Structure 1
Amino acid sequence: MSTITDSPAVEVTQQVSGPSAEEFVDRLMGSALGWAEVNAIHLGDRLGWYRDLADQGPSTHEELAARTNTSSRYAREWLEQQALTGILVADGEIDARDRRYALAPGPREALTDEHSLAYFAPFARMAGAVGPQLPALLEAYRAGTGVSWARFGADAREGQAEMNRPWLAQLPHVFAQVPQVQAALTRPGARIADVGAGGGWSSIALAGAHEGLQADGFDVDEPSVALARSNAREAGVSDRVRFHLADGDSIVSHGRYDAVFAFECIHDMPRPVDVLRAMREAVADDGVVVVMDERVGDGFDRPGELDALFYAFSLFVCLPDGMSHAPSAATGTVMRAGTLRDYALAAGFDGVSVLPIEGFGLWRFYELTF
């Protein structure tokens, strides 16, 4: 509560409610345990321990270490921690050398099934990418500069691509429920542009579902473009899906498109208005422009249930990446609908509407109208 008097010397008193020190420390203890759990998941994922347990079944620490060519002592410590926290199931009170550990069906799906919507292991990999960049982030926070996406390396790049992959595979089914988008995708000889394509899974999913559809994906991160091209070859669609190392605002040089998409990338861009303007110029007169971005609350006073997670992404990755280029809009992950609307209007669109797609993970779909 703030009180401001009318006296010449304005006196301001504040009463701030909140948790006690003990309550706050309890909260931080839970956060510390969560930090440890996510990092332990990162170890188990990257060392191949989860997949080995999923494939081989209940194992001792020595068996797991031998099969994965890792240290048995570290394997024992990790297995005990995983069992203590309920991720693994252990035999019980027997000698540690003979104790066997198993991966239950729920954690198995979340940690090893790359096609499941519950797949979580890539999130831990992304989180692991932040640690080495903390000194650079501190300097960026002091100087008002940034830390580019490229500096976070393969763990961030590949982790995000794999985390989004199961969801992007659902795009054909989702868009089949939106008549104007489905009409654009199913035109004979349809062409789409995928701005900020990353690992390419969005283009690959749409091309795989629509025979004859041609897709051009664009990204500024060279390793991501290489990854997307490899993924397209493995999926058997590289004859119809091409990826370009280019800014999003260069798409106009590739002709007109029946649909232009930007999946979870506008908030990262230093020049979102320029990119949206290029998307407007590149779409056919009877085409559609769709942006998928984080499902944030309408305002700071009305936060969405996921806003705390989105602010975490913004603090450590998205805002520093956006500010690594100058000039920058410095949007950050928490791009509210009003902000996107302002960008779209400045880019020449008439308006923005939310598409009737519910329950799609962390994201919301917008149609930019013209």
Structure 2
Amino acid sequence: MRAVGDLSSAYGGVMVSLGSKLGLYKAMSGAGPLSARELAHRTDCAERYVREWLNAQAAGGYVDYHAVSETYELSPEQAMVLADEDSPVFIPPAWQVPVSMWFDEERTLEAFRTGGGVAWGDHDGRLHCGVAAFYRNGYRGSLVSQWLPALDGVVEKLEAGIAVADVGCGHGHSTVLMAQAFPRSRFHGFDVHAASIDEARQNAADAGVAERARFDVARAVDYPDKQYGLICFFDCLHDLGDPVAAARYAARVLAPGGTVMLVEPFAHDRVEHNLSPVARLYYAASSTICCAHAISEGGELVLGAQAGEAKLAEVFRKAGFTHFRRAAETPFNLILEVRR
């Protein structure tokens, strides 16, 4: 029955994606109870398809069904997850990640059989878009308001003006958020995936911060040395083929008194303490994406997405850092402060 439940969830993910892309959730948000005909009219969709979709949503607990009136309703809590694109818990884009995992199955089978790697840029494009969109809202809800203030003295330096490196920036959402919040600082995003850098530049332009948020293709061991007051690794250190080398390079280009902000997937240090739905998600992604990319980069140390705080601390200790502490945490992330 657990396997059937998981299969039902996988089918449900397709329904979530359809509902998001067709605007069905948005049309239901704040509208009160609606019939299938009313929702179909609001979204310019065919009523028979909408009715079946609504029944699937009701069966999964994603909408409420009122039997007497034969209407369906999206509660405010459900709307936060399914309809509000600015909500920190907006989930529909995350379903693009398992789609990409299925499309990349042949590559993954080959990697398992040969021990070879699969680089980030070799995955189906929905991986890059899904990861960027999913993490964007989590960063938007926490990065400036909670995580940066949890670091000793960093907000004051950002307000005064420092150089910041965002290593493995992807589509640049984290870089843009910081640039919007701290106009006196200058932000530099780096990633090995050229298509993501193109997206990051466009996102910065759209946000009006292109003059103080620049993006370039570079590895974690050769980006320009600007003596950064803050170096950030957002959910990427565990993807690197040689995280110790990346940490050593960060020590070299970090300004005196500077800080490394390390954001990693939440994990305990022992497998038996990581047996949870969130850990299952991360272990699965690690099997097909994180470890695969680290191996493609040489795999000197393949941390995986559930490395845990102790292993991460050891990486930075080997790189010559002496200060390492957990500054904050969420159910999905560890926020770690590192200094020399």
Write the mapping of 1:1-370 to structure 2, written as runs, cut at 5 A: 26-54=1-29, 59-61=34-36, 64=39, 68=43, 72-92=47-67, 100-169=71-140, 170-174=142-146, 175-187=148-160, 189-251=161-223, 253-303=224-274, 305=276, 306-346=278-318, 348-358=319-329, 360-370=330-340
* 1:363–1:229 Cα change, 3 Å: same
- State whether residues 30 and 76 of structure 2, in contact with CA within 8 Å, keep that contact through their aligned partners in structure 1: no
Q: Which ranges in structure 1 are unaligned for 5 or more consecutive residues?
A: 1-25
Measured in 1, the distance between the counterparts of 2:111 and 2:177 equals 37
* 1:307–1:89 Cα change, 3 Å: closer
- State whether residues 93 and 133 of structure 2, in contact with CA within 8 Å, keep that contact through their aligned partners in structure 1: yes
Query: What one-letter code is carried by the residue in structure 1 that aligns with 2:15?
Result: A
Aligned to 1:179, the other structure's residue is in SS state coil
* 1:137–1:211 Cα change, 3 Å: same
Measured in 2, the distance between the counterparts of 1:55 and 1:154 equals 33
* 1:178–1:338 Cα change, 3 Å: closer
Aligned to 2:291, the other structure's residue is in SS state helix
Q: CA deviation at 1:226?
A: 1.7
Where do 4+ consecutive residues of structure 1 move more than 4 Å?
A: 55-73
Aligned to 2:222, the other structure's residue is in SS state helix
Query: What one-letter code is carried by the residue in structure 2 that aligns with 1:279?
Result: A
* 1:136–1:60 Cα change, 3 Å: farther
* 1:68–1:154 Cα change, 3 Å: farther
- State whether residues 26 and 84 of structure 2, in contact with CA within 8 Å, keep that contact through their aligned partners in structure 1: no
Measured in 2, the distance between the counterparts of 1:80 and 1:291 equals 43
* 1:216–1:344 Cα change, 3 Å: same
Query: What one-letter code is carried by the residue in structure 2 that aligns with 1:354?
Result: R
Measured in 2, the distance between the counterparts of 1:345 and 1:32 equals 43
* 1:35–1:284 Cα change, 3 Å: same
- State whether residues 349 and 369 of structure 1, in contact with CA within 8 Å, keep that contact through their aligned partners in structure 2: no
Instruction: Kindly indicate whether structure 1 or structure 2 has the higher relative contact order, using CA contacts under 8 Å at least 6 residues apart.
Output: 2
Q: CA deviation at 1:93?
A: 6.1
Aligned to 2:112, the other structure's residue is in SS state helix
Measured in 1, the distance between the counterparts of 2:212 and 2:80 equals 32
Between 70-79 and 55-64, the greater mean CA deviation after superposition: 55-64
Q: CA deviation at 1:86?
A: 2.3
Cα deviations across residues 262-302 of structure 1 (Å, max 9, x unaligned)?
11100011121222222111110121112110121122244
* 1:72–1:325 Cα change, 3 Å: farther
Q: Which ranges in structure 2 are unaligned for 5 or more consecutive residues?
A: none
Measured in 2, the distance between the counterparts of 1:220 and 1:259 equals 20
Cα deviations across residues 27-51 of structure 1 (Å, max 9, x unaligned)?
2222222222223212222333323
* 1:114–1:352 Cα change, 3 Å: farther
% same residue: 28
- State whether residues 89 and 138 of structure 2, in contact with CA within 8 Å, keep that contact through their aligned partners in structure 1: no
Cα deviations across residues 177-224 of structure 1 (Å, max 9, x unaligned)?
43332243233x311001011121211122211221110000111221
Aligned to 1:163, the other structure's residue is in SS state helix
Query: What one-letter code is carried by the residue in structure 1 that aligns with 2:336?
Result: Y
- State whether residues 327 and 336 of structure 2, in contact with CA within 8 Å, keep that contact through their aligned partners in structure 1: no
Aligned to 2:296, the other structure's residue is in SS state coil
Cα deviations across residues 153-181 of structure 1 (Å, max 9, x unaligned)?
34221222222122222222222243332
- State whether residues 39 and 128 of structure 1, in contact with CA within 8 Å, keep that contact through their aligned partners in structure 2: no
- State whether residues 184 and 288 of structure 1, in contact with CA within 8 Å, keep that contact through their aligned partners in structure 2: no
Measured in 2, the distance between the counterparts of 1:147 and 1:75 equals 39
Between 297-306 and 278-287, the greater mean CA deviation after superposition: 297-306
Q: How many pairs are equivalent? A: 337
Measured in 2, the distance between the counterparts of 1:149 and 1:69 equals 38
